[in-house]
Amino acid sequence: MKVRGLRLSMALLSACCLACGDSTDWASKGPTDEKYSQVELSLGEAVYSDTCSACHGQNGSGNFGPDLVGKGHKYSYKEQRSLVARGRRSMPGFGASLTDAEIDAVVAYIRVGFFGESTK
């Protein structure tokens, strides 16, 4: 009986790990300390809500795609930018449909903009 219960909870635990994938609470890490101009962040916000929010949620909270809040601590700027430009698995690449300036801006926005601290 005891062994069975343990096995069951181990099975549940590993099922959860598979589903969640990443157990780090990235959102609690807040924005990166990079500074971007307000102009760039406004452009980034517009690009984000037009192009990304359907899959990643209006505030980066995740939907079809993973949540993005705080992920500036998981990926460097360069890594995130190339992911957005080239895509990865079921994430389409935007290198052809967005300009370089739009990609720069949207990456800036997802790294600091969800927190509303970027305007300081």
Q: Is 90 in the site for ligand HEC (CB under 6 A)?
A: yes
Q: How many residues bind ligand HEC (CB under 6 A)?
A: 22
Q: Which of residues 69-88 bind ligand HEC (CB under 6 A)?
A: 71, 74, 80, 83-84, 88
| 92 makes contact with ligand HEC (CB under 6 A) | yes
Of 31, 43, 45, 52, which one interacts with ligand HEC (CB under 6 A)? Answer: 52
Q: Is 100 in the site for ligand HEC (CB under 6 A)?
A: no
Which residues does 13 contact at the CB level (< 8 Å), separation at least 6?
none
Note whether 105 binds ligand HEC by CB under 6 A.
no
CA angle 30, 25, 52 (to 5 degrees): 70
The contacts found for 56-65 with CB under 8 angstroms, 24 or more apart, are 59/114, 60/110, 60/114, 65/90, 65/91
